[in-house]
Amino acid sequence: MLKYVVKRLILMLFTLFIIVMITFILVHMLPREMPVEKNLQAVIAQRWEALGYNKPIMTQFGIYLKNIFTKWDFGTSWYIAPRKGAWEVLESGFLPTLLVNLYSMILAVPVGIALGVYAAIRKNKWDDSFISTIVMVFISVPSYVYAFLVQYTLYFKLGWLPLTMYSLADAGGSYFTWKMFVSMIPAILALSFGSIAGYTRFVRAELTESLTSEYMLLARTKGLTRAEATARHALKNAMVPVLPNILSEFVGLLSGSLIIEQIFSIPGVGQLYIKSLNLFDYDVFMIDCVFYTFVYLLAGIVLDLSYGFIDPRIRMGER
């Protein structure tokens, strides 16, 4: 197992390195101009020189890697937060993104699993087909449509919730205040519809399959009631593929949803991506790309590895 984990991790780091290199070259091929600011020109020029912006691209890449490994320095933001470190800028976006997505997951996972189990138990009855139809619709409709619907009903018609998320200053300086939580609710709801439907469909499919398998027959023959057999045997087996997905989505939470962050103006990593792209703040854009790639790869690995932990018979990615 350890050998397998190490192998996967090394492959992941190798992939990450190649993607970072290609992204770095492509981003640094773009023309860039030194920001002009009268009083600080000397400081800016010094920093510019230290990052090697005037040197050939591969030299720049060497400096970039050296700075990361020795000083954890990913370059400087020039426009979004002038002369702050790119890492600090990215770091400031973690918490809002993580919170909104975490809340949405806390809502979506139990509801999704409960609905899925219910639909599987009532298979081919009217309530199953009702749930399945709704799930089909909810999986297909794009998340931004929910965002508009939520905004329209909860803000425009009923006036219960704010249109977008409050800024830190409005909500009392912390992301953990009640007021901030209330302003996050529209985004949480908009994110949840799709994932509730996703979990429902997944759990239903897995559970219907295990409900019809032979060990269920055996469990019933040895005298368990249907409910007991379902809870003890079928549900356990059905969760084997579901749990890894929840875990990997948990890792994926970090990257958030670009479009939901844009619509509800959540100051997270997704909004940072769009902002840095529009303002040509390349170092921030670069670190955001690295971050996205890292989270994406990590989520994939967590998915594959957790299969192995939950059910040791499975080795994903091996033949």
Partner 1 sequence: MANDIKTISPEKFEFVNMNTRLTDVKFDDKPIGYFKDAWIRFRKSKAAVVAMIIIILIFLFSVTAPLFTKNPSTFMDTYYAKKGPYIKSLRSIGIANGGVKRDFSEIGLISKIAIGMGAEDWEGTGKVTLEDGMASEFQPILEVSDPYIQIDSSKKEKTYYHGVIDAYNEVGFLFLSVEQEELKKMIAWEEESGLHLLYPLIEDNNFTPDPQDANFWFKCKKYQPITINEKGKAKNVEYAPGMVLEDNYKRDEEGNAIKWEYTGGGSFETAHMKVRVLYKNYYIYKNGFEPQYLFGTDSQGYDLMLRLAGGLRLSLLLAISVSVINFCIGALYGSTEGFYGGAVDLLMERFSDILSGVPFIIVATLFQIHLATKLGAVPCLLFAYILNGWINIAYRVRTQFYRFKKQEFVLAAKTLGARDMRLIWKHIFPNSLGTIVTSTALIIPGVIFSESMLSYLGIVKLGSSRTTSLGTLLSDASAIWMNYPHLMILPALFISLLMISFNLFGNGLRDAFNPSLRNVED
Q: What are the residues binding partner 1 (CB under 8 A)?
A: 11-12, 14-16, 18-19, 23, 26-27, 29-30, 136-137, 139-142, 144-145, 148, 152, 156, 201-202, 204-205, 208-209, 258-259, 262-263, 273-274, 277-278, 289, 292-293, 296-297, 300
Instruction: Name the residue nearer to partner 1 (CB basis): 180 or 305.
Output: 305
What is the C-alpha to C-alpha distance for residues 249 and 226, in angstroms, rounded to an integer? Answer: 32
Instruction: Name the residue nearer to partner 1 (CB basis): 180 or 269.
Output: 269
**Left (φ > 0), alpha (ψ -120 to 50) or beta: where does 223 sit?**
left
The minimum distance between CB 33 and partner 1, in angstroms, equals 15
The minimum distance between CB 3 and partner 1, in angstroms, equals 18
The minimum distance between CB 176 and partner 1, in angstroms, equals 29
Instruction: Name the residue nearer to partner 1 (CB basis): 192 or 271.
Output: 271
The minimum distance between CB 310 and partner 1, in angstroms, equals 18
The minimum distance between CB 174 and partner 1, in angstroms, equals 29
Instruction: Name the residue nearer to partner 1 (CB basis): 44 or 205.
Output: 205
The minimum distance between CB 100 and partner 1, in angstroms, equals 17
Instruction: Name the residue nearer to partner 1 (CB basis): 29 or 227.
Output: 29
Instruction: Name the residue nearer to partner 1 (CB basis): 109 or 301.
Output: 301
